[in-house]
Amino acid sequence: MVRMKNQIQSIAEKYSNDRTRLMDIFWDIQDLHGYIPHKALRVLEESLDISTADLRETLSFYHFFHESPSGKFNIYLNKDVASQLKGHEAIYAAFETECNCKFGSVCMDGTFGLFETPCIGLSDQEPAALINLVPFTNLTPQKVKDIVAALRAGKELAALVEQYGYGDGANQQIKTMVCSNIRQLGPVFGEKISTGEGLAQSLKSTPEQVIEEVKTAGLRGRGGAGFGTGMKWSFCRAAKGSTKYVVCNADEGEPGTFKDRIVMTEYPEQLFEGMAIAGYAIGAQQGILYLRAEYKYMQDYLEGKLKDLRAKNILGQNVLGKSGFNFDIRIQFGAGAYVCGEESALIESMEGKRGTPRVKPPFPVEVGYLGCPTVINNVETLAALPYILKNGGSWYKGFGTEKTPGTKLLSVSGDCEKPGVYEIEFGMTVREFLAMVGAKDAYAVQVSGPSGECINAQQSLDRKLCHEDLSAGGSMIIFNKDRDLLKYMRYFMTFFVEESCGICVPCRAGNIVMRNNLDKIRAGHANQEDLDNIFAWGQIVADTSRCGLGATSRNPIVSSFKNFPDLYKKLLDEKTNPLYDASFNLEASVEDFDRALKEQNQIGRNVHA
Partner 1 sequence: MPKITFKIDGKQCTAEDGQNLVEAAADNHVYIPTLCHMKGEKCLGTCRVCMVKVNGKDMAGCTLSVSEGMEVTFDTPELNDKRKALIEMLFVERNHFCPSCEKSGRCDLQALAYRFKMHIPRFRYRYPFFEVYSKVDKLMLEHNRCILCQRCVEFIRDPDTNRKIFSMRNRTNKSMIQVDYRLANKMSEEQIDKAVAICPVGAIIKKGQGFDEAYGQRKYDQHPIGYEVDGGTNSK
Residue closer to partner 1 by CB (options 157, 513) is 513
**545 lies in the site for partner 1, by CB under 8 A:** yes
Q: How many residues belong to the site for partner 1 (CB under 8 A)?
A: 38
- Interface mask (CB under 8 A) for partner 1, residues 525-544, using x and -? --------x---x--x--xx
The C-alpha atoms of residue 332 and residue 290 are separated, in whole angstroms, by 5
The C-alpha atoms of residue 230 and residue 446 are separated, in whole angstroms, by 29
Query: Residue 420 is which amino acid?
Result: G
Contact pick of 14, 38, 330, 360 for partner 1 (by CB under 8 A): 360
Shortest Cβ 360–partner 1 spacing (Å): 7
Residue closer to partner 1 by CB (options 516, 600) is 516
> 170-183 in b/e burial notation, b at 16+ Cβ within 10 A?
eeeebbbbbbbbbb
Residue closer to partner 1 by CB (options 164, 537) is 537
φ, ψ for residue 322, nearest 5 deg = -80, 105
**328 lies in the site for partner 1, by CB under 8 A:** no
Instruction: Using the rule CB under 8 A, give the single segment among 253-261, 356-364, 368-376, 573-581 that binds partner 1.
Output: 356-364
| Strand (E) or helix (H) holding 135 | strand 134-136
Shortest Cβ 356–partner 1 spacing (Å): 8
Residues 269, 270, 273, 274, CA torsion sign: negative
Instruction: Using the rule CB under 8 A, give the single segment among 140-148, 157-165, 429-437, 504-512 that binds partner 1.
Output: 504-512
Residue closer to partner 1 by CB (options 305, 546) is 546
The C-alpha atoms of residue 83 and residue 136 are separated, in whole angstroms, by 13
**60 lies in the site for partner 1, by CB under 8 A:** yes
CB 102 within 8 A of CB 265: no
**47 lies in the site for partner 1, by CB under 8 A:** no
Residue closer to partner 1 by CB (options 306, 501) is 501
Closest CA to 385 of 362, 413, 406, 361: 406
Residues 192, 196, 198, 201, CA torsion sign: negative
Contact pick of 54, 213, 380, 453 for partner 1 (by CB under 8 A): 54
**501 lies in the site for partner 1, by CB under 8 A:** yes
φ, ψ for residue 161, nearest 5 deg = -85, 95
Residue closer to partner 1 by CB (options 54, 380) is 54
CB atoms within 10 A of CB 548: 18
Q: Residue 218: left if φ>0, alpha if ψ -120 to 50, beta else—which one?
A: left
Reduced 3-state DSSP string for 49-60:
CCCHHHHHHHHC
**504 lies in the site for partner 1, by CB under 8 A:** yes
Query: Residue 572 is which amino acid?
Result: L
CB atoms within 10 A of CB 326: 15
Contact pick of 56, 312, 322, 483 for partner 1 (by CB under 8 A): 56
Shortest Cβ 368–partner 1 spacing (Å): 17
Contact pick of 503, 521, 526, 557 for partner 1 (by CB under 8 A): 503
**Which residues in 156-244 belong to E strands, given as ranges?**
182-184
Check residue 357 and report its DSSP letter.
P
Residues 28, 30, 34, 37, CA torsion sign: positive
Using CB under 8 A, which residues numbered 419 to 448 contact partner 1?
Answer: none
Instruction: Using the rule CB under 8 A, give the single segment among 88-96, 124-132, 156-164, 502-510 that binds partner 1.
Output: 502-510
Contact pick of 4, 18, 33, 57 for partner 1 (by CB under 8 A): 57
**591 lies in the site for partner 1, by CB under 8 A:** no
Check residue 242 and report its DSSP letter.
S
**20 lies in the site for partner 1, by CB under 8 A:** no
**510 lies in the site for partner 1, by CB under 8 A:** yes
Instruction: Using the rule CB under 8 A, give the single segment among 96-104, 126-134, 139-147, 499-507 that binds partner 1.
Output: 499-507
**207 lies in the site for partner 1, by CB under 8 A:** no
Reduced 3-state DSSP string for 387-454:
HHHHHCHHHHHCCECCCCECEEEEEEEECCCCCEEEEEECCCEHHHHHHHHCCCCEEEEEECCCCCEE
**366 lies in the site for partner 1, by CB under 8 A:** no
Using CB under 8 A, which residues numbered 269 to 308 contact partner 1?
Answer: none
Using CB under 8 A, which residues numbered 172 to 201 contact partner 1?
Answer: none
Shortest Cβ 361–partner 1 spacing (Å): 8
Residue closer to partner 1 by CB (options 165, 538) is 538
φ, ψ for residue 478, nearest 5 deg = -105, 135
What's the alpha-carbon Rg for the chain, to the nearest Å? 25
**157 lies in the site for partner 1, by CB under 8 A:** no
Closest CA to 501 of 365, 344, 320: 344
Using CB under 8 A, which residues numbered 470 to 489 contact partner 1?
Answer: none
Contact pick of 6, 10, 52, 601 for partner 1 (by CB under 8 A): 52
Instruction: Using the rule CB under 8 A, give the single segment among 8-16, 46-54, 379-387, 557-565 that binds partner 1.
Output: 46-54
Residue closer to partner 1 by CB (options 14, 360) is 360
Contact pick of 193, 512, 523, 567 for partner 1 (by CB under 8 A): 512
**225 lies in the site for partner 1, by CB under 8 A:** no
> Rounded to 10 degrees, what is the CA torsion of 180, 182, 186, 189?
10
Q: Strand 129-131 relative to strand 134-136: parallel, antiparallel, unpaired?
A: antiparallel
Instruction: Using the rule CB under 8 A, give the single segment among 9-17, 182-190, 218-226, 352-360 that binds partner 1.
Output: 352-360
**584 lies in the site for partner 1, by CB under 8 A:** no
Residue closer to partner 1 by CB (options 536, 607) is 536
CB 467 within 8 A of CB 221: no
Q: Give the CA angle between residues 92, 98, 102 to the nearest 5°.
A: 55
For partner 1, the binding residues (CB under 8 A) are 49-54, 56-57, 60-61, 337, 354, 359-361, 497-506, 508-510, 512-513, 516, 533, 537, 540, 543-546
